Structure 1
Amino acid sequence: MAQTGLTFEGVLDRDALVPATELLVALVARPEVAAAWDQESACAGTSVGALTWHLVNQPQRVIELIAAHDPADPRLTAPITADEHYARAEWLQQDLDGPANVGVRERGEQQASAGHDEAVAAARAALAALPAALAAAPPALLLPWTGLVLRTDDFLVSRLMEVVVHSDDLAAGVGVPVPEFAAATLRPVLTLLTDLAVRRHGQDALVRALARPERAQGAISAL
């Protein structure tokens, strides 16, 4: 499917990341998460502890990338769109045993060794630092793990998507209610997931799954 040129620049409510992170902190701090720390989560091959840290990493990455911003970096003049970012994402091109996905799980397990209390403390610290970081955010950010540049709003939506999707994973794995995210969080996330699903399965599959289930042809997972 052709590139859509999807971008959230100028339409994202950046402050939506703060209440989303508040819900993340509340979920991470639940005793059910601590009790199941070493058990497998709803994500196959990933412990509850590793998944928890992967969640905590999302607001942390926002703060870190904004702090590391170098306005003199010439790469910042050529950001790619949100859909192009995901078109190039190695983890989406590989199965669960691909190097990119194995690397994510291994990093999560290493972090999980620090324990539940440390994850809760890190999540709370990220929440406290997030408003000031968002206020200082530049128009575009370099992603050091890929060398690519995203418009800041597109990067923030990518983090919101990770928070929403993996909050569901974490809650499902430990048997607690899924956080109820605000519309300002869900709308851009659902737009992004819809775009990715269309790219992956085509227009007909998505329209039928949403509006004509009698003609639906199966799953329309975006990821």
Structure 2
Amino acid sequence: MGRTAQLPGPVPDSVDHGGPMSLTGAYLDTAAQAVTLLAAPEVAASWERPSALTDMTVGGLAGHLAYQIFSVAPAVREPASREVPIPLLEHYARAAWIDAPLDGEANAGIRANGEDIASEGARVLLERARAALAEQRTALPVVRVGRVVFMPQTGWALSLDDFLLTRMMELAVHLDDLAVSVGIAAPELSATAFDPVLTLLARLAARRHGQAALLRALARAERAPSAINAI
């Protein structure tokens, strides 16, 4: 299985996610899958119904999925940040939402933002997502290697590759959430997208539950833990 089969040792400062420009194409492919799912008639037909996520409508979940694409806009429109980027796993260690309760301020804000993005309806959201992806298909491949992206919502910066990997992980998880919510099959990621997303999730799961728990979940069903969630 190559890189995805390497089980976590001591958690490093960064995640190996391929060559210097490998994440750009993988992100664009994954974003395109999100746009395709947003165009599914089942999504528009279920817009006001509850989604598979607690306290989130299908429309709000679609808005949150589309936000992952919209949030890449600063990477292609704004000057490169002069901030020193932090390591990818440190980004998740600092994230306010990752261990917050569902009814806490961080997660309530995420849900509200998704609903707000979706407030103009399925057709408008789809048009916005298509336009954002079209812009990024042109702009991202020519962005300089090593570019740093400042994230105002967090107050720190990541390298472009690490930032795109955070978007890919979010897209991958919420593609499944949205597909399940409307009763259709979840799209499968390309290998170039799935491998780094899986590696990232495995690293986060190992840090949360320990190496032994992750090893047992993957290889020893008879003593697998009841939970091995990464986030």
TM-score band (shorter)?
over 0.9
Per-residue deviation, 1:13:
3.2
TM alignment of 1:1-223, pairs within 5 A? 4-8=12-16, 11=19, 12-71=22-81, 73=82, 75=83, 78-138=84-144, 139-223=147-231
Report the more deviating stretch, 202-211 or 135-144: 135-144
Per-residue deviation, 1:64:
2.6
2:92 counterpart letter in structure 1: Y
Contact 1:14 1:156 in 2 (8 A): yes
SS across alignment from 2:62: helix
Contact 1:208 1:216 in 2 (8 A): yes
SS across alignment from 2:157: strand
Change (3 A) 1:164 1:59: same
Contact 1:66 1:137 in 2 (8 A): yes
Query: Structure 1: how far apart are the matches of 2:131 and 2:16?
Result: 27
Provide, for residues 159-193 of structure 1, a one-character-per-residue CA deviation record: whole Å limited to 9, x for no partner: 00011000000000000110111001101100110
Provide, for residues 86-137 of structure 1, a one-character-per-residue CA deviation record: whole Å limited to 9, x for no partner: 0000000211111111001011112222100011101111221112231243
Contact 2:35 2:130 in 1 (8 A): yes
TM-score normalised according to structure 1 size: 0.93
Unmatched runs of 5 consecutive residues or more in structure 1: none
SS across alignment from 1:25: helix
Query: Structure 2: how far apart are the matches of 1:212 and 1:28?
Result: 38
Contact 1:27 1:171 in 2 (8 A): yes
TM-score normalised according to structure 2 size: 0.89
Pairwise CA RMSD:
1.7
Query: Structure 2: how far apart are the matches of 1:7 and 1:168?
Result: 23
2:215 counterpart letter in structure 1: V
Aligned pair count?
Answer: 219
SS across alignment from 1:141: strand
Query: Structure 2: how far apart are the matches of 1:2 and 1:211?
Result: 19
Contact 1:197 1:220 in 2 (8 A): yes
2:72 counterpart letter in structure 1: V
Change (3 A) 1:63 1:133: farther
Unmatched runs of 5 consecutive residues or more in structure 2: 1-8
Per-residue deviation, 1:198:
0.4
Query: Structure 2: how far apart are the matches of 1:148 and 1:9?
Result: 21
Query: Structure 2: how far apart are the matches of 1:180 and 1:126?
Result: 22
Query: Structure 2: how far apart are the matches of 1:60 and 1:137?
Result: 17
Over the matched positions of the two proteins, sequence identity in percent amounts to 44
Query: Structure 2: how far apart are the matches of 1:15 and 1:6?
Result: 20
Per-residue deviation, 1:9:
6.6
Report the more deviating stretch, 157-166 or 123-132: 123-132
